[in-house]
Structure 1
Amino acid sequence: MPMSQRSADLRLGRYSGIGQIYLLNSVVHGRQPLFANWRTGRLVVEEFRRAQQAGIADSLAWVVMPDHFHWLVVLREGTLGMLVRRVKSGSALAIMRAGYTPLRVWQKGYHDRAVRREEDLQAVARYIVANPLRAGLVKRVGDYPLWDAVWL
């Protein structure tokens, strides 16, 4: 597989580079707080883990907020579009199987930002996991149940 792969579903100029670090974000349809119930949020986390176990991406840090997620990953195989589709479709199926019946779970698309290797990855991870604190959901990061980072 080439080091960088162009995909028709990527916005113009977007490349999926194997070995590249990305910050990915995706939003729940209608920004409904579907993951305010942490058990539902754990279904998204399980898809992050499945992608890592399959060798598609290495998770560096993530947080699942009530209506979206932030995920810092190293792409290992395929494209960003394939990775995000896998996580979103797998989590949507799991959510519906668990008895939650939204008409649509995810908004179309996702946002990504390539992270340069010279950036402080731990600072990016701290920014990600501090999202619940900045949103006023908790007083301490450790009180929020849906986050993780490899630097712990």
Structure 2
Amino acid sequence: MSPLLPGRYYHIYNHANGDDNLFREAENYRFFLQQYYKHIDAVADTLAWCLMPNHFHLLVKIKNEEALLQTFPKFETLEKLLSKKFSNLFSSYTQAFNKVYQRRGSLFIKNFKRKEITSAQYLQTLVLYIHLNPVKHSFTKETTEWPWSSYHYVHAHFEELPFFREIFENKNSFLAQHTLKLERFIEYIALEESLTR
């Protein structure tokens, strides 16, 4: 699997091991986010995210090399540093989760997936994909109804977020793109259902 590199954008995602859930109740989501920011904030800027019962999606930009070396001057390689930070996140969450629910073993699939994002168009598409994922997996029918994603924060603070202004231009475009994708998705599901009756 290719390493995470400084200054690059990545789609990072992972799934629960087997049929397990990563999140069983609201406190699990809150605790994961707490652990996430504790371990990841120093190495990456999180631009979009969504947590669902059995998996999650993130859009991150790894901090530049200078910032990483300034904060972590003694680490052997940046590749090991970044890998260790994500490993610590998953390990700390799993240990706490296992203790609460009296379970054993790994909670996450061993190697988290990552895909480098290299174009502005792909960044926009990925933001929409992440925010609409709960609808795709039938956890909710509206993006606005799912509490565990960055959608609400971006909606409320759009003007303060240069990344979103750059890829969506303005708040109306941000909202319209989400609505359009949702409508197309609903049309597709209806078509699929009519063909399988």
Confirm or deny a common fold (TM above 0.5). yes
- Alpha carbons of structure 1 residues 44 and 36: separation in structure 2 relative to 1, 3 Å: same
In structure 2, C-alpha distance between the alignment counterparts of 1:22 and 1:83, rounded to whole Å: 15
Q: Which amino acid aligns with 2:83?
A: G
Number of residue-to-residue matches in the alignment: 138
The structure that is helix-richer by fraction is: 2
Larger deviation, residues 104-113 vs 27-36: 27-36
TM-score (norm 2): 0.62
Deviation at 1:151, TM superposition (A): 3.4
Task: Note if contact 2:44-2:61 (Cα within 8 Å) is conserved in structure 1.
Answer: yes
Q: State the match for 1:41 in structure 2.
A: 29
Q: State the match for 1:75 in structure 2.
A: 62
Which secondary structure state, in structure 1, belongs to the residue aligned with residue 90 of structure 2?
helix
Identify which of structures 1 and 2 has the higher relative contact order when contacts are C-alpha pairs closer than 8 Å and 6+ apart. Answer: 1
The structure that is strand-richer by fraction is: 1
- Alpha carbons of structure 1 residues 71 and 31: separation in structure 2 relative to 1, 3 Å: farther
Which secondary structure state, in structure 1, belongs to the residue aligned with residue 102 of structure 2?
coil
Find out whether 1:151 has 2:154 as its counterpart: yes
In structure 1, C-alpha distance between the alignment counterparts of 2:52 and 2:34, rounded to whole Å: 15
Which secondary structure state, in structure 2, belongs to the residue aligned with residue 33 of structure 1?
coil
Which secondary structure state, in structure 2, belongs to the residue aligned with residue 29 of structure 1?
coil
Percent identity between matched residues is 22
Structure 1 unpaired stretches of 5+: 1-10
1:68-147 alignment runs, 5 A limit: 68-76=55-63, 77=68, 78-79=78-79, 80-97=82-99, 99-103=100-104, 104-147=106-149
Deviation at 1:83, TM superposition (A): 3.3
Q: Which amino acid aligns with 1:102?
A: R
- Alpha carbons of structure 1 residues 17 and 33: separation in structure 2 relative to 1, 3 Å: same
Q: State the match for 1:5 in structure 2.
A: none
